[in-house]
Amino acid sequence: MVIRFFALPYAYFILMNWKECQASRYQVFKDFIYIFFVLKDFPDYYSVFRFWEKDRSEWKYYYGSIYNPYQRGRLRKEIQKKEYEILFEDKYVCHQLCISANIPVPVFLGYIQPSDDIINYVGDLLENENNTKIIIKASRGRGGKDIFLAYKENEKIIIEGNKKTWLLRDFELENPSIIQRFICQHQALSKISSSINTIRTETILTRGNKVEIIGAFIRFGLDGNFLDNQCAGGLSIGVDVSSGELYKYAMNGKGEIFYSHPNTGEKFDGFKIPFWREVLELSENIQRHFPYYNLLGPDIAITPDGPIVIEINATPDHAGLEMDYGPVLKNKKVWEAFNEYDLLINKPIKNAWS
């Protein structure tokens, strides 16, 4: 926190989107001081949470980034043990665990090393009539980095990823990777965006062995990108957990608001995610299968036949969830779950529901 104190000017001058912010710079300065010293948090999320639009009494219900010292220390001690993280962060290991637990995942086609003959390996896979497109995904990649789409076009094999395009013969694999069959997305979601639009849920397993859904949001890609996350330029929007309906507007990584998809014009408000009950059941099932790791963030896609797990995040970006979904501790059941694990970091939220 000492280091973060000296980083406050960076958050103020660089991380703030002053074009969006309607509060005075002096007011934002006072807000930063309040967040840092009273809420014991770093205000890097102030802009994307659009705190200038919210009453200060509501701020305590936001848990904030799990990468900040107070939150991280509590989570590591209680419910996100470091020694188990590899089970989810290594996508090959996670895929195998999901298969053993009968959790639906994309069809696995192989594991490939940078030293392997990728030209023949990928070429042979795309010769199979069932594999019109395949996904090559770094087994330890994060944030949408090092995920590649491979497909045939005019007798040539094209690789897309990291905002670049290669012919297969010019592509160099840098990391050990898994290969999966490209999934077919539910038509209702494809009307909004052609990317594979994934739902992020966050779950917590309580001391009473009950799974609580902390919150949910969904991401949509832009400009024909097959990736949907904000790191790849996509949009994200909160989902009403009780109904599966989208909130009124989506946001990009700068906190800018979109009431409809910029490419397709489809409105977000009122859209209901197909198979929502099954999405919640799958999320709860995943959390129950890993009782030694009590807070998880699965990414779930919707196929014509139902939900399927793309990956499971051991350290889901909690601030990203609250940016779209809102303050998770406003839900008393979630607050109680956090409280029983001693995860609450400041007096205002500790006293909020007592």
pLDDT for the residue 354: 78
CB 156 within 8 A of CB 106: no
Residue whose tokens read 């005019």: 154
Q: Count the alpha carbons within 13 Å of 122 in the hemisphere toward its beta carbon.
A: 30
Res. 223: pLDDT tops 90: no
Q: Count the alpha carbons within 13 Å of 54 in the hemisphere toward its beta carbon.
A: 17
Give the integer Cα–Cα distance in Å for 186 and 275: 10
pLDDT for the residue 62: 96
> What number is the average pLDDT over the span 25-32?
97
Structure token pair of residue 237: 């929007």
Q: Which residues does 136 contact at the CB level (< 8 Å), separation at least 6?
A: 112, 122, 147, 148, 149, 150, 159, 161, 173, 177, 178, 179
Give the integer Cα–Cα distance in Å for 210 and 226: 36
pLDDT band at 241 (very low <50, low <70, confident <90, very high): very high
pLDDT for the residue 231: 65
pLDDT band at 133 (very low <50, low <70, confident <90, very high): very high
Res. 215: pLDDT tops 70: yes
Res. 68: pLDDT tops 80: yes
Give the integer Cα–Cα distance in Å for 50 and 43: 11
pLDDT for the residue 201: 98
Res. 18: pLDDT tops 90: yes
Give the integer Cα–Cα distance in Å for 109 and 115: 18
Phi, psi of 80 (to 5 degrees): -125, 70
Residue whose tokens read 């990414």: 299
pLDDT band at 232 (very low <50, low <70, confident <90, very high): low
Structure token pair of residue 9: 């000017």
Give the integer Cα–Cα distance in Å for 215 and 199: 11
Pick the closest to residue 21 from 33, 12, 8 (CA basis).
12
CB 147 within 8 A of CB 136: yes
Mapped onto helix, strand or coil, the DSSP state of residue 69 is: helix
Mapped onto helix, strand or coil, the DSSP state of residue 149 is: strand
Give the integer Cα–Cα distance in Å for 26 and 307: 47
pLDDT band at 344 (very low <50, low <70, confident <90, very high): very high
Phi, psi of 200 (to 5 degrees): -105, 120
pLDDT for the residue 98: 97
pLDDT for the residue 13: 96
Res. 227: pLDDT tops 90: no
Structure token pair of residue 156: 């040539």
- The DSSP line for 192-207 is T-SS--PEEEEEEE-T
Encoded amino acid at 3, one letter = I
Residue whose tokens read 């298969």: 99
Give the integer Cα–Cα distance in Å for 201 and 198: 10
pLDDT band at 78 (very low <50, low <70, confident <90, very high): confident
Give the integer Cα–Cα distance in Å for 63 and 343: 9
pLDDT for the residue 129: 74
> What number is the average pLDDT over the span 135-149?
87
Average pLDDT over the chain reads 93
pLDDT band at 230 (very low <50, low <70, confident <90, very high): low
Give the integer Cα–Cα distance in Å for 78 and 75: 5
pLDDT tens across 150-204, in order?
999 988 999 998 888 999 999 999 999 999 999 999 999 999 999 999 999 999 9
